[in-house]
A and B are shown apart, each in its own frame.
Chain A
Amino acid sequence: MTPATATAQAELTYREAVREAIRDAMRRDERVFLMGEDVGQYGGAFGVSLGLLEEFGADRIRDTPLSESAFVGAGIGAAMGGMRPIVEIMTVNFSLLALDQILNNAATLLHMSGGQFGAPLVIRMTTGGGRQLAAQHSHSLEGWYAHIPGLRILSPATVADARGMLWPALRCPDPVLIFEHGSLYNATGSPAGHDSADITTAAIRRTGSDVTIVAYGGTLGTALTAADRLAEQSISADVIDLRVLRPLDDATIMESVRRTHRAVVVDEGWRSGSLSAEIAARITEQAFYDLDAPVGRVCSAEVPMPYAAHLEQAALPQPGAVVDAVRAVVA
């Protein structure tokens, strides 16, 4: 057994899988470097980059000042200058300080320049709630980014995707944002030999015939738990992991809905104007006559995320709510 296959078969945490992906990319391509707040000496706010500074040095594992706009924009500029930066933003809420650069530069440069300049960088950030971090560290704003033409939005929900999506994202000539749900870092799984996953399609994580549950990132586990409970009630659910939030893989969603005739979308974002709204609209546009019931949705309560555990859990999509939503559409 070669060392490579030994690594591939060992169980990893999601955190370790992201770290392995970064390490592997940096070994493969000298243009790749990591930059962000506390990615070096501290080891990453969530421990993702622990040990990488020692291996690659301070030039390629680059601690930045607290200046999201400058270092995200510098990543865009470095990408224009031929590098392949991985920029880490601690949380999606902080990314708003760099939204100008992401929207007005990364997403527009290729178009505004008539195809002359692109921004082939990867921006990774933590998203989501469930850790009692309250209203400035817990939101799910990936749906906002998925609104923007010019960006590609990835949401790895499994250890295999955490390991496999980074390399193709770095090979992609477009700006790619990767959203890592904060509750997943300690999840374990097999990277199953993945050092390169596709970054264009959704995946069916469980097959069923009565209903399609569409989930992504942190809500995939919620959907799968709900599907287990529904199975006990003799309701068989197809569970789709979107994986890619922009461009959406309509074909996989519609193929499933045409088989099950019912759909529930689980989205940790707020319901109004959300990704779940977009998916429900597309199902209505493309598979209306295959539906036996209105599309159901389970989203976060429309409040800033509260601190207290019982309030936060009440605000987030829970398996019980998914079960209820499914029962409502299969009734």
Chain B
Amino acid sequence: MLRIRRFEERCVELYSATKIRGFLHLYIGEEAVAAGVMAALEPADAVVSTYREHGHALARGVPMDAIMAEMYGKATGCSRGRGGSMHLFDRATNFHGGSAIVGGGLPLAVGLALADRMAGRSRVTACFFGDGAVAEGEFHECLNLAALWHLPVLFLCENNLYAMGTRIDRAQANTDLAARAATYGMTAHAVDGMDALEVEKAARRAAAAVRATGSPYFLELRTYRFRAHSMYDPDRYRDKAEIARWQQRDPIDTLARRMISDGELDEPGLAQLNADVEAEVAASVTAAEQAPVEPVDQLTRFVYADNEGLP
């Protein structure tokens, strides 16, 4: 969680310094979700993500250097500079990408799970999306299909209460998202997404159920983004007091306090963690600065697979 927080804080600075361009959607405030869920997954499991996915990628184990290099658009980036912030991919960790079409990743997750079912593999496909996706047709088509065909998808709805600038009660006739998912015939419940341990516990239970039954499961993770939707967003639609209220529940502070009170961590230990993370982030920036750019003569690579040696 600290790695996500410090990485993104640095990205904001780099954005202001015009080292990073394009859209930059920050996950700050939502780190407990990625950390808790990824702790519950196996290495062989598949992950399908969104455009707010730095946290998912880092927690999944995509190397920070490769993510930072991608932010820089460098050849050493995890998508070789073709994806940027919104499209992080990594085959080694079965990270099937950040998708920037809201709801567009759900059909892929259903398909990955279908392939697993047909090939006799017993793995879980973890599919992240936001509350905004629940308004999309693809959400409903996919929950229906996954339930109908009993496919092993773990649907993870990160409900941060806003679809860009539109608060959930201005967009959803029924804001109880877990209840709506349950109508498709799958176990569905809401979890405190600000508490990493609660998330991990719920995700472990959910992943175990998916593995045991081969059927889908839905978690609504109630969370909040502390920053604006993107670097372009002046955040005019949220009450400052609301943001401050949620910041009282900062997931990193919450976990650190609990670990200290449980004797699993002390103040020097926390300081050391912070220092280690700062060093890792700094090293990723240095590496990205020094990394080569993709030669322009490679522009049309990866449009068709000829000679790319794909499996």
Binding site for B on A (CB under 8 A): 31, 33, 59, 64-65, 67, 69-83, 85, 100-101, 104-105, 109-118, 120, 149-150, 152, 172-174
Kindly state the separation between the CA atoms of A120 and B310 in the bound complex, as whole angstroms: 10
Contact with A along B76-98 (1 / 0, CB 8 A): 01111111000101110000110
- Residue from B80, B115, B304 in contact with A83 in the complex, judged by beta carbons closer than 8 Å: B115
Interface of chain B residues 259 through 311 with chain A (CB within 8 A): 301-306, 308, 310-311
Q: Is the CB of A69 within 8 A of B107?
A: yes
Chain A residues, CB < 8 A from B81: 114
Tell me the residues in window 127-177 of chain B with beta carbons closer than 8 Å to chain A beta carbons: 137-138, 141-142, 144-145, 148
Which residues from A are CB-within-8-Å of B301?
115
Given the complex, which residues of A lie within 8 Å of B108, measured CB to CB? 73-74, 76-77, 80, 105
Structural contact, A82 and B107, CB atoms closer than 8 A: no
Residue contact B89 to A79, C-beta cutoff 8 Å: no
Can you sample 10 A-B contacts with CB below 8 Å? A31-B119, A33-B118, A101-B104, A104-B101, A105-B104, A114-B78, A114-B80, A116-B90, A116-B91, A174-B305
A149 to B115, CA, bound (A): 26
- Is B219 part of the contact surface with A, judged by Cβ < 8 Å? no
> Besides the contacts A73-B111, A75-B111, what 4 more A-B pairs have beta carbons closer than 8 Å?
A78-B118, A113-B97, A117-B97, A150-B304
Best-surrounded residue of B46, B114, B303 (most CB of chain A within 10 A): B114
Task: Tell yes or no: B116 within 8 A of A by CB.
Answer: yes
Interface residues of B (CB under 8 A from A): 46, 77-83, 87, 89-91, 96-97, 99, 101, 104, 106-116, 118-119, 137-138, 141-142, 144-145, 148, 301-306, 308, 310-311
Cβ 8 A contact of B116, one of A76, A81, A120:
A81
- Neighbouring A residues of B82 by C-beta, 8 Å: 111-114
* Contact in complex: B141, A67 (CB < 8 Å): yes
Shortest C-beta distance, A93 to chain B (Å), equals 17
Chain A residue at minimal CB-CB distance from B144: A65
The chain A residue sitting closest to B117, CB to CB, is A59
Q: How far is the CA of A78 from the CA of B89 in the complex (A)?
A: 17
Report whether B310 and A72 are in contact in the complex, using a CB–CB cutoff of 8 Å: no
- Please tell me which one of the listed residues B91, B111, B119, B304 contacts residue A79 in the complex, with CB atoms under 8 A apart: B111
Residues of A within 8 A of B303 (CB): 110-111, 149-150
Q: Could you tell me if A117 and B91 are in contact, using CB atoms closer than 8 angstroms?
A: yes
A118 to B99, CA, bound (A): 15
Instruction: Report A174 CB to chain B, min CB distance, Å.
Output: 5
Q: Which residue of B lies closest to A66 (CB)?
A: B141
Q: Return the chain A residue nearest B79 by Cβ.
A: A114
Ranked nearest first, the 7 interchain pairs of A and B with the lowest CB-CB distance are: A77-B111, A73-B107, A81-B115, A114-B80, A70-B141, A67-B141, A113-B89
Find out whether the CB atom of A110 lies under 8 angstroms from the CB atom of B107: no
Q: Return chain B residues, CB-CB under 8 Å to A114.
A: 77-83, 89, 302
CA distance A113 to B113 in the complex (A): 20
Rounded to whole Å, the gap between the CB of A122 and the closest CB of chain B is: 14
Task: Tell me which of A64, A117, A120, A174 contacts B145 (CB under 8 A).
Answer: A64
Docked CA distance A74–B138 (Å): 11
Residues in A with CB closer than 8 Å to B310 are 110, 115, 118, 120, 173
Contacts of A67 in B (CB 8 A): 141-142, 144-145
* B113: chain A residues within 8 A (beta carbon): 77, 81
Bound CA span A58–B208, Å: 28
A83 — nearest CB in chain B belongs to which residue? Answer: B115
Distance, CA A75 to CA B118, complexed state (A):
12
Chain B hits for A111, CB < 8 A = 82, 302-303
> How far is B233's CA from A223's CA once the two chains are assembled, in angstroms?
56
| Residue with the highest number of chain B CB atoms closer than 10 Å, among A31, A71, A85, A150 | A71
> Inside 8 A of A64's CB, which chain B residues have their CB?
145
- Within the complex, the shortest CB–CB distance from A262 to chain B, in Å, comes to 33
Q: Check B112–A81 contact: CB distance below 8 A.
A: yes
Q: Is the CB of A77 within 8 A of B141?
A: no
Closest to A72 in B: B107
Q: Are A70 and B138 in contact (CB under 8 A)?
A: yes
Interchain nearest-CB distance for B298 vs A (Å): 10
Residues of A within 8 A of B119 (CB): 31, 81-83
- List, in ascending order, chain A residues with CB within 8 A of B111's CB: 73-81, 85
Given the complex of chains A and B, what is the CA–CA distance between A76 and B116 in angstroms?
Answer: 13
A49 to B119 CA separation, bound complex (whole angstroms): 23
Pick from B46, B83, B305: contact of A112, CB below 8 A: B83
Min Cβ gap B117→A in Å is 9
